[in-house]
Chains A and B, each alone.
Chain A
Amino acid sequence: MLPGVIGVLQATEVIKLILGQGDPLVGRLLTFDALESTFRTLKVGRDPECPACGAEAKLDASQVRDMDYQVSCELPIAGD
């Protein structure tokens, strides 16, 4: 049953994004504990030094194409 709960929550977020309605879970992590029957929301922030979306990140299409994600998912650290 748990995949149903989470998958339907995902579908709801998609609909909100398409319609431009409400507050999608951007910067928030929603967790559901099925044994406790509790939902919690944790705030999560951006990392200014993020190697993908940070101010100095140099991520580009050729880097994605050339990387073997099955072997390593590490990106070069920004600024290097």
Chain B
Amino acid sequence: MPRKYDQLFETVRQNVDEVDVQALKSAIDNGDSKPFVIDVRERDEWEQGHVPGARFIPRGFLEMRIEEQVPEKDQPVYLYCAGGVRSIFAAQALQQLGYENAISISGGFGAWKDAGYPFDIPRQWTPDQRQRYSRHFLIPEVGEHGQGKLLDAKVLMIGAGGLGSPAALYLAAAGVGKLGIVDSDEVDLSNLQRQIVHSTSRVGEPKTESARTFVNDLNPDVEVVGIHERLNASNVLDLVADYDVVVNGADNFATRYLLNDACVILGKPIVDGSIFRFEGQVTVYKPHEGPCYRCMFPEPPPADLAPT
């Protein structure tokens, strides 16, 4: 039987649980686990600010996307819109999908702001960035929030050689915002069999410049800082201090100990890799959470036992 909108709204509202923004705030602050809070507004509304920790699923996509975001249907799911109307219809839709605790926030984001509660303003993406990182946006472990973290991250690469080349390319492709590359060498023809960030036309160039050319062409969002120097005791602390994570691609003992000591002092993680003939190794030295390089090798082996 056809009904007027007002009648429809009242009927739906009677069958939906509603709480106010105060209740939402205390569920976020005091709950044992983080509650699922879904923002069902449109993108332009979301971009002007949203409840911290909320996930963005516009009303039109709610039924299609909710199950990948909230797999367990007995979980409480808080839904909000701008004023508390769209979220009532959204809650009804979730009830029909079997969500037992779909709750609409009365007053919506307007009431949240009026109550003086904090809100996040998401990063603004250019249309190109939205396309470039679209696959990341779809992965729950990354999403727009994670992509923002990647673009804000600063990674220091020691060496643009065999290990540093693929690492730099994938980090740049993924959109790590700043790549510091320390390498004092120039590109040699014999490097090209494995050092894939360089190329035949750039033989003779400093490796830092050659890597910058490739990375800039791959992803203009990435700032490359070329450090055309050898890592040594007088520059290591200042260099490492500016970065969040260090990738070691230099295969010699002196650099490993030097880097280790600097990173233990500064509390920075090292992602270490090494290769010997047909075997490779990877580990992460995270100061005070796991072993450092010296925990495993307190001092270097005698020179005649050390592989080069």
Measuring CB to CB, which residues of chain A are less than 8 angstroms from any residue of chain B? 2-15, 17-22, 24-35, 44-47, 50-54, 59-61, 63-70, 73-75
Contact = CB atoms under 8 A, between A and B. Distances in A.
Contacts of A20: 149
Q: Is the interface of B mostly helix, strand, loop or mixed?
A: mixed
A31 B291 contact: no
B294 A6 contact: no
Nearest to A19: B146
B169 to A, nearest CB: 8
B14 to A, nearest CB: 42
Given A14-B155, A14-B271, A30-B282, A52 B247 contact: no
Contact of A27 (B161, B249, B274, B290): B290
Nearest to B257: A73
A60 B237 CA distance: 11
A61 B258 CA distance: 11
B283 A28 contact: yes
Interface string B148-162: 011001010000011
Interface residues on B, range: 35 or more
Nearest to A30: B282
A32 B279 contact: yes
A25 to B, nearest CB: 5
B269 A17 contact: yes
A35 B171 contact: no
Interface in B164-198: 164-167, 170-171, 174, 176, 194-196
Contact of A17 (B257, B264, B271, B273): B271
